[in-house]
Chains A and B, each alone.
Chain A
Amino acid sequence: MPLFGKSQKSPAELVKALKEALKALETLKVGGDKKAEKAQEDVSKNLVSIKNMLYGTSDSEPQTDIVVSQLAQELYNSNLLLLLIQNLNRIDFEGKKDVAQVFNNVLRRQIGTRSPTVEYICTKPEILFTLMAGYDHQEIALNCGTMLRECARYEALAKIMLYSDEFFNFFQYVEVSTFDIASDAFSTFKELLTRHKILCAEFLEANYDKVFTHYQRLLNSENYVTRRQSLKLLGELLLDRHNFTVMTKYISNPDNLKLMMNMLREKSRNIQFEAFHVFKVFVANPNKPKPILEILLRNQDKLVDFLTRFHTERSEDEQFNDEKAYLIKQIKELKPIQSDGTSQSSQQQ
């Protein structure tokens, strides 16, 4: 923006100019072509103007509420947010960051008790799906990640994402070979599964089989980081009282117990330790189903022996030692199922 002369463009003009530049950029091929370069420049320039309108600059304050709300209204009407995200890979490096900043600012906007942008995105869920698909493209993955996590803060938007088919792509995204993308995807994944407790619990209950079949693959991943992170998240999910129903379901499945027992013996001590926190739930369960009880009984002596020698160097960690002692005691006291068919659990009831 020039210092003197030309007056500032109005929000409507800015949005229009940005949209035209984007359209041009969409149809042209980047590189070599002068026109394409020009379009890219225009996009960046207009983005900066919009950003300054929202955030202000070092020597100007952000624009008044009226201008900002005009801008937001223009953005909704012109469908520009979706267009920006769809063409994010064509915008230059700084421009990509500006898009994320503009998007997040407009998203956070509140009028009284309403969040107009959240309402708008609810009517245009493609925005969310396009953002999620952003993890497929290395050059825009992290920008999409910041926008996605901002969206995930709103329950209505998190719900759309969780219940979409695209959500299950996260099970691939968290495992991609590019470390920064994988870990960014994991933090978005975790945010979606933990942020809104009731929503998440309902989602996990309703989609239990599908989610945990996918989750099993993460726990068996060849990638150490994926294995460790997903195991840790599993522990957090199961030990959160909001997910009580999911937890009881998970710990009644003998396959899950076997997996945890194997993970207790993993090479990595960190994984062993995380596995311990899931394993303990199986043992602490006062109503163990028959198959679970059988596995524990079959390995009774071995488990007691194993746990006694398990991570003995953690003598400082009082809680861990208490829990370990409790588990050892529980396993020692396990009684075989009696011949008349009444199991230990039914006696307790």
Chain B
Amino acid sequence: MEQEIELADEVPAVEWLNNDDQIEQLDLQTIANFNFNRVSSDEIIYQKKQNKCKMVGKYVMGDKLGEGSYGKVKEVLDSENLTRRAVKILAKRKLRRIPNGEMNVRNEILFLRSLKHKNVVELIDVLYNEEKQKMYLVMEYCVCVLQEMLASAPESKLPLFQAHKYFVQLIDGLEYLHGQGVIHNDIKPGNLLLTLDDTLKISDFGVAEKLELFASNDICTKGQGSPAFQPPEIANGHDSFSGSKADVWSSGVSLYNITTGLYPFEGDNIYRLLENIGKGVWSIPEGLDPLLTDLLLNMLQFDANKRYTIPQIRNHIWFNSSPIDTGNRVFVPPLKGDVSRSSTVLPYLESYHYESRQNNVYFTEHDLNEAEELARQQQMQDSSSSSHQISKKNSISNDEAYSTRESSDINKKRRTKKKFISCVSVKKLTHCRQS
């Protein structure tokens, strides 16, 4: 449960002195009295924010799943049919700061609306809030991003059988996209989502391009994808390139990445990186499956004309093989300690229906400091006497609503604790503003 603090009283704004004359006019007495008051830490009182149940349209908002430059992604629950969904929240204010931001979003909506395939993420609904200048893209709920799973895996790579399973689905989805005249332009593990039943979904069509219905080739000009996944022709700054071959290249880099945990091209900075891609020299780590190596060699072929097409990938022997299940599959990593990634909307609904509004929870800065101190001690003791600690922690708040799990969370993670500092209500002091 996310814990936030609400401002209990409105603190009057401080009036700033703008010029010397004003200061001179001030009663010296006032200035003499104007000093910093020390406040005892147990006099600073925080109030635990209620899990406020918020609705957008017919969707009940849950916790944040991720965040990008465009805004947040939150989990939601469709209140009409109780399905889990994810919502991408786009603030116009933020979009303006990103080059082509608003264009890209328009693009994405347009593409997703017209696409329907098992391996392409489905856009369910688009909501606008004119007042807040926000846009909500409601999409299928996916349990995790492939990138996230990779990061949690040993050596940041997946066993071959699992990588194969995802790669086949990636090619299925890509073949469909190309058939619809859509070039994705930004294939990478960070844009591949996984559902609960292990289906891969291609997402993020922000920089995708649509080919003209009657275009006889697939020449693209944009190439705004992620640098590490771009083909040499883009790295070398060609004005136009074959879109489908560019997607094949990025899929090749992705395959390389998920099977080895490495990138074929690296560089200290983006210029070095692009320079290295432009040269097109890369190597296969030792011990990689020879059939897979062969496929990678053909997908990461420098010359786009010689590079494999999707039908060629489909006919490749590794694609058609089924690597043996070695029993070491990587699972979806836990989110905030929750292994099963259960719905984050439910706590909001529970507090909405079962917690009375008067049931406010207060705790002081002193409590928090103590808790932090305890946590530090606990770390030093290497959690040898954990039971004793927990009982102490519980004493921080006598309120029942303040559950054991939450309080121990504060103790364990200093980061969580810091969130409390941002909003405070200050007792006794009326003219002082906490910074």
Contact = CB atoms under 8 A, between A and B. Distances in A.
Q: Do A and B originate from a single complex?
A: yes
Interface of A: 110, 112-113, 115, 197-198, 239-242, 244, 281, 284-287, 318-319
A319 B181 CA distance: 15
A141 B113 CA distance: 36
A286 B214 contact: yes
Contacts of A240: 179-180
A197 B322 contact: no
A19 B321 CA distance: 32
B357 to A, nearest CB: 38
Given A113-B317, A241-B211, A197 B113 contact: no
Contact of A197 (B175, B216, B291, B317): B175
A286 B320 CA distance: 40
Contacts of B211: 241
Contacts of A241: 178-181, 211
Contact of B110 (A197, A239, A318): A318
Contact of A198 (B214, B311, B320): B311
Contacts of A319: 110, 113-114
Of B175, B211, B214, B321, which is in contact with the most chain A CB atoms at under 10 Å from its CB?
Answer: B214
B180 A239 contact: yes
A240 B321 CA distance: 28
B321 A112 contact: yes
B32 interface: no
B213 interface: yes
B113 A284 contact: no
29 contacts: A110-B321, A110-B322, A112-B321, A113-B291, A113-B317, A113-B318, A113-B320, A115-B320, A197-B179, A197-B311, A198-B311, A239-B180, A239-B213, A241-B179, A241-B180, A241-B181, A241-B211, A242-B179, A244-B216, A281-B213, A284-B213, A284-B214, A285-B214, A286-B214, A287-B214, A318-B110, A319-B110, A319-B113, A319-B114
The 7 nearest A-B residue pairs measured at CB: A113-B321, A240-B179, A198-B311, A110-B322, A113-B317, A241-B181, A242-B179
Contacts of B113: 318-319
Contacts of B216: 244
A110 B291 CA distance: 16
A315 to B, nearest CB: 14
Given A198-B311, A284-B213, A287-B214, 5 more contacts: A197-B175, A239-B213, A240-B180, A242-B179, A284-B214
Contacts of B318: 113
Interface in B105-136: 110, 113-114
A197 B176 CA distance: 9
A281 B214 CA distance: 9
Interface in B177-218: 178-181, 211, 213-214, 216
Contacts of B213: 239, 281, 284
Interface string B273-291: 0000000000000000001
A156 B318 CA distance: 17
Nearest to B322: A110
Contacts of A284: 213-214
Nearest to A194: B179
Contacts of A285: 214
Nearest to B181: A241
A241 B181 CA distance: 6
Nearest to B109: A318
A263 B381 CA distance: 79
A112 B318 CA distance: 9
A198 B211 CA distance: 19
Contacts of B114: 319
